[in-house]
Chains A and B, each alone.
Chain A
Amino acid sequence: MTTKQYVCIVCPMSCSIELTDDSGVLTVKGNTCKRGEEYAKNEYTDPKRMITTTVGLRGSRLRCLPVISRKAVPKKLLRDCMKQLYATVVDAPVRQGDVIVANILGTGVDIIAARSITL
């Protein structure tokens, strides 16, 4: 049996959660809501994180375009995703929600523009 302590990062309440793995049966306590249970189980089996960063931008007074992943991606792929994004440059204008990189590194997750650029 293994026990792990987590701090839920889903909302600002930051609940302290304890997860117990009893031969594959996961039990979670300390969470205030359901999302915390899901978070702790994910964190134990396959931790995921959102990607938020910038890519290069041409044709605007701003030099970078903020981007965000539509969903969280496996934590272990975070650095490689970032590497690909650092090599990406796009042209203005851009609409919030435009796909900047589709299906990044085969994760099934799109990276989209987090704001519109008109200027």
Chain B
Amino acid sequence: MSKTMRRVGPPLLLLAPSLLLLGVFVYGLIAANFQMSFTDNHTAAQATGQAPAAAVWFDNYTALLATDAFQHSLLNLLLFTAVFLAGTMAMGFGWAWLLEKPVKGEGYFRSIYLFPMAVSFVASGVVWRWLLNSNQDEQASGLNRLFQIIGLDFLQNNWWNNVTFGIIAIAIPAIWQLSGYVMALFLAGFRGIPDELREAARMDGATELQLYRHVLFPQLSPVALSALIIIGHMSLKSFDLIMSISKPANYQTKVPAVDMYVFKSSFDYANAAAVGAILLIIVAAVIIPYLIHTHREEKR
């Protein structure tokens, strides 16, 4: 046994089960998925192997991207992600900022803000479907009724039934569920800033605003980046919440993750795989630079 084998061998052996599993289930299947997406496998007979399928390379991709339906999905994804990210970052930062200074009962506030995280999207979808009920005026229930009760009638709307902006209504429960998480990240960020830094800035005569701008924000930026990456990649994969609030085939709220399910359900495996591949490419475009960046940071 060579010297390097003796050094590298045992640790690799210990990692072997995990590496084997991930090699097959992540990297192997990604390759297999691309292969499927390059075929004309669109029927149940082909899916079960009873009819032959041929390679068509990028035809599925070009066809998909040319349809209005899929463009609508991509636009929905963009709208959803923008609102979801902006909402959780603003709420999360705001709540952390409120809790950052000494507050009585901090633990209780923190627990309550975080608790929606423990609930599944399917369970919260049940109540949000009711809260986002599109009926108005006499028939109103949910938030529309609440707006009536508190005299904000003009806020009544048809929520996720709006064809253009319906997807934004789905972002509301998503924000409700994950703002606490972003809060926890920011709170940890705030607590990680040494007091001396603030003291020093105050001694130098910095105003509160300058303190935030030049001392606290730069210190919080790694946390903000982590939060953006985590919420962003979750947003791109969003599926549960849309499935439980709206219906899978609902045009208003469709996104690629839902399209993939619909294609799969109708045995159109090639298009399902192509949608999955498109999602992967979008996620990878964000995640790979981030992973390389963290890898370099840790080396330092």
Do the two shown chains form a genuine complex with each other? no
Residues of A within 8 A of B (CB): none
Residues of B within 8 A of A (CB): none
